[in-house]
A and B are shown apart, each in its own frame.
Chain A
């Protein structure tokens, strides 16, 4: 949904880090994007390629790792991946925060992030 503004922030942050290191060129950027965010991978790539033009990030490799949702239950301590329920009325899997162990409401612990995991650069 906000791929251009998010990617602008990503590129700005990478350029800032590269400047700190006096890098000549950025060769690789590794991102982790949670599946529970509203960020589309294709649109992030599209925005990235436009934004890195005329910067030392041009031609850098963009690796995007998608992070699955995971939950933790404050009631029983269950930790695990986000569950999906099949709605018999529509036959579509709906994600649910219902704890598979005790049935109470769990909290999201992973899947909401958009993190710059690592940057490779030439000095």
Chain B
């Protein structure tokens, strides 16, 4: 034990201990382990976070299409229920593993460690992990990936960046999706980009249309893939 102090007052003995234990550290340590394991096998992993409907799955489909001849890809698909998205991605001929969280609103390092046990790391070079649709909770739980991506879309309104600064602080790459709808939504993507950069000056930003594939090359460059 690091520090302990005994205070005796009459018959009463009070013990004060200082465990200095960080509860969030448990996940961070597991994430570190995942990272080491993936590195040992030369697997590059990317955590893709963002709200429900931001376009994470569509972007992954486009990434898979563009990269499947360059990398052997596996995808972890976090969802509360169903395998709908896994089937969408699986159509492109890559290995997809659904992680149904039941009620949990985010993936954590532990569920990812268990999923990693179910695939053969020797047979892949790139692991794309689609987090549960949620702009807030996943940010608190690193998974052990080399990069973390946040996807937002213009249909989420003009304030989603400034309302969630701590989510964007945790991302290496931010995607602003549905650029084709920006004008209809009266959203200035340059303004959003500026806000993201203000929060994290070294973040890379890609502006995309995940349905047409526009901007996906930019994203691939930002991910250094």
Interface of A toward B, CB cutoff 8 Å: 1-2, 6, 9-10, 13, 17, 21, 23, 27, 36-38, 85, 87, 89-90, 92, 94-98, 103-105, 108, 112-123
Q: Which residues of A contact B14 (CB under 8 A)?
A: 27, 120-123
Q: Are B18 and A95 in contact (CB under 8 A)?
A: no
In the assembly, what is the distance between CA of A98 and CA of B169, in Å?
11
Given A95-B166, A119-B16, check contact A113 B24 (CB 8 Å).
Answer: yes
Given A85-B198, A95-B169, A119-B19, check contact A2 B140 (CB 8 Å).
Answer: yes
In the assembly, what is the distance between CA of A4 and CA of B224, in Å?
38
Q: In the complex, which residue of chain A has the Cβ closest to the Cβ of B28?
A: A112
Contact of A37 among B6, B20, B105, B140 (CB under 8 A): B140
Contact with A along B65-95 (1 / 0, CB 8 A): 0000000000000000000000000000000
Q: Which residues of A contact B16 (CB under 8 A)?
A: 118-121
Given A115-B20, A121-B15, check contact A92 B202 (CB 8 Å).
Answer: no
B205 shortest CB reach to chain A, Å: 14
User: Which residues of B, 179-218, contact A by the 8 Å Cβ criterion?
Assistant: 191, 195, 198-202
A48 shortest CB reach to chain B, Å: 13
Q: Which residues of B contact A117 (CB under 8 A)?
A: 18, 20
Q: Which residues of A contact B165 (CB under 8 A)?
A: 94-95
In the assembly, what is the distance between CA of A62 and CA of B144, in Å?
33
**For chains A and B in complex, what number of residue pairs have CB atoms within 8 angstroms?**
104
B110 shortest CB reach to chain A, Å: 12
B115 interface contact, C-beta 8 A: no
Q: In the complex, which residue of chain B has the Cβ closest to the Cβ of A36?
A: B166
Q: Which residues of A contact B137 (CB under 8 A)?
A: 1-2, 38
Q: Are B140 and A89 in contact (CB under 8 A)?
A: no
Given A1-B136, A21-B15, A121-B14, check contact A94 B23 (CB 8 Å).
Answer: no
User: Which residues of B, 1-59, contact A by the 8 Å Cβ criterion?
Assistant: 6, 12-26
Q: Which residues of B contact A116 (CB under 8 A)?
A: 19-21, 23
Q: Are B13 and A113 in contact (CB under 8 A)?
A: no
Q: Which residues of B contact A94 (CB under 8 A)?
A: 162, 165, 195, 198-199
A-B contact pairs, 19 of them (CB 8 A): A2-B140, A17-B17, A17-B19, A38-B140, A87-B195, A94-B195, A94-B199, A95-B165, A96-B198, A98-B198, A98-B201, A105-B200, A114-B22, A115-B21, A115-B22, A118-B19, A119-B17, A120-B16, A121-B16
Q: Which residues of B contact A85 (CB under 8 A)?
A: 198
Contact with A along B101-135 (1 / 0, CB 8 A): 00001000000000000000000000000000000
**Which residue, B12, B17, B162, B199, has most C-beta atoms of chain A within 10 A?**
B17
Q: In the complex, which residue of chain B has the Cβ closest to the Cβ of A14?
A: B19
In the assembly, what is the distance between CA of A92 and CA of B136, in Å?
19
B172 shortest CB reach to chain A, Å: 11
B104 shortest CB reach to chain A, Å: 9
